[in-house]
Structure 1
Amino acid sequence: MSISLADEIRTGANTATTALENQLIAHRRELHQHPELSNQEFVTTQKITDWLNAAGIRILDLGLKTGVVAEIGPAHGPVVALRGDIDALPIEEASGVPFSSQQPGVMHACGHDFHTSVILGAAYLLKAREDQLPGRVRLFFQPAEERFGGASQLIKAGALENVDAIFGLHNAPELPVGTFSTKGGAFYANVDRFQITITGKGAHAAHPEEGVDSIVTASHIVTALQTLVSRNVAAQESAVVSVTRIEGGNTWNVLPQSVELEGTVRTHNDDIREQIPGRIRQLISGVAGALGAKAELHWFGGPPAVVNTPRWAEFSLQAAAEFGYKAEVATAQMGGEDFAFYLHHVPGAFVSIGSASEFGLHHPQFNPDESAIFPAANYFQQLAEKALYELSVK
């Protein structure tokens, strides 16, 4: 019988459990020391392949350049997928841990090493019970989540074929260890990126009347963009417009010809998502025109919102409560996740596992609590089995 979180707390870990927990932490630290950026996860892919092979877990040949898809269980019956992601971020680590990144300028600052170790642990636990499974568990070690392309790569390669339900996780540094949350419906947001090019007329800084000031125009546009949500989106809806980069000029005494702005829009409602690019174009054209400049919008649509299947979100929450987690219904998140693409094809749920880091995701000092890894692995093993039995009797 699988060991529950409650049993672990009450009775303490036995020798086998302690060995597995230590192994998963060792896997996480090995991955953390050798992070790789999206679509460059060649060493990571080989490490995961070697660990799965050593456990006797079969790997599916899907022709992937990076990433691994494996499978446990008999050929018959339903198929449940578990997904972890494997790529890192272009961030210089400053956590100070003894197993810090050995790759300059690259860090597992989002916890994908944590996620990978959790799904590896679930795989090991499921393998030990393979002859008792009423179906198959397919394991996704997905590349390129940070660039929102990895899920589509796996789908195109056929990883979702015959999958009846899929589950994925993200560690939540704002939640204590032992806490679990998810929700049915829209969970993570639509993610879109924009660039705005503002063109004025360059001039000497001492004679601004001879030019059209692109910096002043950009400043007015940044301020005006803040009204998009407050004056165009109903208060009960959720949306964020953030300008994250301003670039223009190269010296102190010249008004530049042009300025570029860049930022992101996050929404949950698809109707609002569709309306915002048009409103931005209207706004920047009006502001720039009033100041004698021109403004052009470049829009880059990203992954859609993560919309959990209500049935499987509730199933995950109930399983978490039974397991011993403090299970909570989540609030909608404004972050993005390409797990959304899987949910456009099959039902499932994305969940949050508390990791209790003082510093948040994408911070150079991000450091999740490793004690959360083994319980999460055990939970996902039990969740996969429960889902297989649920699907078997339907």
Structure 2
Amino acid sequence: MSISLAQETQNISSGTPSGLSGLEEKLIAYRRELHQHPELSNQEFVTTQKITQWLNAAGIRILSLGLKTGVVAEIGPEQGPVVALRGDIDALPIEEASGVTFSSQQPGVMHACGHDFHTSVILGAAYLLKAREQTLPGRVRLFFQPAEERFGGASQLIKAGALENVDAIFGLHNAPELPVGTFATKGGAFYANVDRFQITVTGKGAHAAHPEEGTDSIVTASHIVTALQTVVSRNVSAQDAAVVSVTRIEGGNTWNVLPQTVELEGTVRTYSSEIREYLPQRIRKVITGVADALGAQAELHWYAGPPAVVNTPRWAEFALQAAAEFGYDAQVAQAQMGGEDFAFYLHHVPGAFVSIGSASHFGLHHPQFNPDESAIYPAANYFQQLAEKALVELAGE
């Protein structure tokens, strides 16, 4: 017979083993429930209902911000500083092939980035903080954010007022390349600026037997792909970091016709705002120059994504020190070329984004991604302690 959540939080507060193991099992069960029922960005309606239900069961107050999906909750007294903890809740359009017994029941949708892991960690931190609510010197605000994969969820929460009065914010991402028990972060630029581009190459269609009668858009596009590789290697200092990757090329619909148009798509990753501003200008010159030389036309469409995640050095070091004291193997992280819309929060308030080792043999966004669930409960405990330490730090200023 399972104990009630109220009994469980009382046991947690007193430190009894039954309460601790009970919460660990509950968080893993929550993660599996979310994993079986993933929802895409801005479609997380059932996920939102489940999180709301679980928070309500613990007596945690939920803020009414008018969100269509996602949840913002709060623990602690009205007075004092405010620290925010953020987890994300959306899944990816990927067909799962992990083989776990709790695989996705939604065809073509999978929690292949571990947002179910993140949600369970922040839920666990919420339960632990709720058990200590009377001793908190301020409030902890909990973000269960939608649409991270579409890079729009953070802006939605900010617009709704979720960051109001927040003094510091912390977020996490599981790191499949790191062992369980490992923690990493760094001050300054941690994740990259993320931008997407599309290039439309227009030539003149012709019969494949008579290419001289047309302008070959496929040959032009091929030369453009090759020329784009020089944008970083010959225009960006070796001491700076940038990536230009073409990830999709599409043109033609049969074997004996030269198509009139070809479309390319890809991404650009940078850390420097100056280089970020420069690269689309350079890419436009390269593609129009190549196309002109071959008698075709090339048009660039640029889509700016989230800016770089730039951790506040003070709070990155604070989180790293707290991790070492907690017992993690705390490491200074290497900068990553991945993107994260947590960056938008850091444009408004100070804070830090961190990595928690999840030891998956397959990486993020892979259909066989499978993080180690034993990392969930320790991470929940860490974030509870981190939030309390940050409140004490801020209250003393």
What residue number does 2:280 align with? 277
Q: Take 2:16 and 2:219, find their aligned partners in 1: how far apart are those partners?
A: 63
CA offsets, 1:132-153, max 9 Å, x none?
0000000000000000000000
What residue number does 2:184 align with? 181
State how 1:107-118 maps to structure 2 within 5 Å.
107-118=110-121
AA partner of residue 145 (structure 2):
Q
Q: Take 2:29 and 2:108, find their aligned partners in 1: how far apart are those partners?
A: 22
Q: Take 2:254 and 2:17, find their aligned partners in 1: how far apart are those partners?
A: 66
CA offsets, 1:247-286, max 9 Å, x none?
0000000000010000000000000000000000000011
State how 1:328-347 maps to structure 2 within 5 Å.
328-347=331-350
AA partner of residue 46 (structure 1):
Q
1:76 to 51, 69, 79: 79
Q: Take 1:89 and 1:173, find their aligned partners in 2: how far apart are those partners?
A: 17
What residue number does 2:262 align with? 259
Given the alignment of the two structures, is residue 168 of structure 1 paired with residue 177 of structure 2, yes or no?
no
What residue number does 1:3 align with? none
State how 1:207-246 maps to structure 2 within 5 Å.
207-246=210-249
What residue number does 2:304 align with? 301
How far residue 14 of structure 1 moved from its aligned partner, in angstroms, is 2.1
Q: Take 1:213 and 1:13, find their aligned partners in 2: how far apart are those partners?
A: 73
How far residue 103 of structure 1 moved from its aligned partner, in angstroms, is 0.3
Q: Take 2:185 and 2:244, find their aligned partners in 1: how far apart are those partners?
A: 24
Q: Take 2:84 and 2:235, find their aligned partners in 1: how far apart are those partners?
A: 39
What residue number does 2:6 align with? none
Given the alignment of the two structures, is residue 102 of structure 1 paired with residue 105 of structure 2, yes or no?
yes
Q: Take 1:95 and 1:229, find their aligned partners in 2: how far apart are those partners?
A: 36
AA partner of residue 298 (structure 1):
H
AA partner of residue 95 (structure 2):
E
Matched residue SS, 2:234: helix
What residue number does 1:8 align with? none
AA partner of residue 263 (structure 2):
E
Percent identity of equivalent pairs: 87
Given the alignment of the two structures, is residue 157 of structure 1 paired with residue 196 of structure 2, yes or no?
no
Matched residue SS, 1:18: helix
AA partner of residue 275 (structure 1):
Y
Matched residue SS, 2:148: coil
Q: Take 2:275 and 2:33, find their aligned partners in 1: how far apart are those partners?
A: 43
State how 1:26-105 maps to structure 2 within 5 Å.
26-105=29-108
Gaps of 5+ in 1: 1-11
CA offsets, 1:287-346, max 9 Å, x none?
011001000000000000000000000000000000000000001100000000000000
Gaps of 5+ in 2: 1-14
AA partner of residue 327 (structure 2):
G
Q: Take 2:244 and 2:183, find their aligned partners in 1: how far apart are those partners?
A: 28
How far residue 210 of structure 1 moved from its aligned partner, in angstroms, is 0.6
TM-score by length of 2: 0.96
Matched residue SS, 1:226: helix
1:192 to 183, 195, 198: 195
Matched residue SS, 1:232: coil
Matched residue SS, 1:139: strand
Q: Take 1:178 and 1:325, find their aligned partners in 2: how far apart are those partners?
A: 5
CA offsets, 1:119-162, max 9 Å, x none?
00000000000000000000000000000000000000000000
How far residue 236 of structure 1 moved from its aligned partner, in angstroms, is 1.1
How far residue 13 of structure 1 moved from its aligned partner, in angstroms, is 9.0
How far residue 15 of structure 1 moved from its aligned partner, in angstroms, is 1.8
Q: Take 2:368 and 2:16, find their aligned partners in 1: how far apart are those partners?
A: 30
AA partner of residue 320 (structure 1):
A
2:251 to 240, 248, 270: 248
TM-score by length of 1: 0.97
1:290 to 284, 287, 293: 293
CA offsets, 1:156-185, max 9 Å, x none?
000000000000000000000000000000
Q: Take 1:13 and 1:388, find their aligned partners in 2: how far apart are those partners?
A: 25
Q: Take 2:385 and 2:324, find their aligned partners in 1: how far apart are those partners?
A: 12
Given the alignment of the two structures, is residue 380 of structure 1 paired with residue 374 of structure 2, yes or no?
no
What residue number does 2:125 align with? 122
Q: Take 2:17 and 2:183, find their aligned partners in 1: how far apart are those partners?
A: 24
